[in-house]
Chains A and B, each alone.
Chain A
Amino acid sequence: MNQHLFEVVNQPIAVDEIIKKVSRRDAGAITTFIGTVREFTKGKKTLSLEYQAYVPMAVKMLSQIGDEIQEKWPDALTAITHRIGKLDITEVAVVIAVSSPHRKTAYEANEYAIERIKQIVPIWKKEFWEDGTKWIGDQLETKEYPEGKPMKEM
């Protein structure tokens, strides 16, 4: 897997750049997922977010997700960039681009990628609310890891 397809950056993400990485002549579809900073979560108002990562391992895990996609959908090509640091409402936190000859694969592989990011990539978000802050965990409500680590398959 090409290392530069998977990055963790602390600057705004240019979505076009991520799309370009997977653009190729035999692709008939490119799906992009853009994860953005939401203002309200369960009625609570977010002022800003801070993302923190264990950067070398996060890049490695993003790359592993690329490998998993390659195994499940051999004709898909994936690029993922996640931003860290302080982000304001509406800013882009993550971009996933997947190209494939036909659209179904591009849609499915892209959804797979975001689900896996939420399971295995060591990145954390801290919410800044009007009345306090909190490091968020457990977004998938899978707090317990009976095997001591995340499962390989969803």
Chain B
Amino acid sequence: MINVLFFAAIREEAGVEQVTVDKQDITVKELKEYVQETYKLSSLKQTMTAVNEEFVTDEETIGTGDTVAFIPPVSGG
């Protein structure tokens, strides 16, 4: 199981703050495609990803129990 967190505009699109995805050992790129399709999201291509609170690239492999956060361009400050 992978925990997936949504924020900002993506959270509003998805309509939920977090979901669990019954997959493991897939890449960030594959998870993005799956989540985008399943929750009918507009593109996640430009969205950064954090696994267990660390930024990763789309090639990173995600394991079971990991928490994945999709991070749209930030606008704090």
Which A residues are within 8 Å of any B CB, using their own CB?
A: 35, 51-54, 56-58, 60, 82, 93-94, 114, 117-126, 135-139, 142-145, 147-150
Contacts and interface: CB of A to CB of B under 8 A. Distances in A.
Contacts of B71: 54, 122
B76 A124 contact: yes
B73 interface: yes
Contacts of A57: 50, 53, 69
Given A52-B7, A54-B69, A150-B48, A121 B74 contact: yes
Interface string B41-58: 000001011100101111
B26 interface: no
Contact of A118 (B7, B53, B55, B76): B76
Chain A interface main SS type: mixed
B21 interface: no
B73 A143 contact: yes
A93 B76 CA distance: 8
A117 B69 contact: no
Nearest to A59: B53
Given A54-B5, A57-B53, A125 B73 contact: no
B56 A149 contact: yes
Nearest to B60: A148
A138 B73 contact: yes
B61 to A, nearest CB: 14
Given A60-B53, A150-B48, A94 B9 contact: no
A121 B73 contact: no
Contacts of B57: 147-149
Contacts of A137: 8-9, 72-75
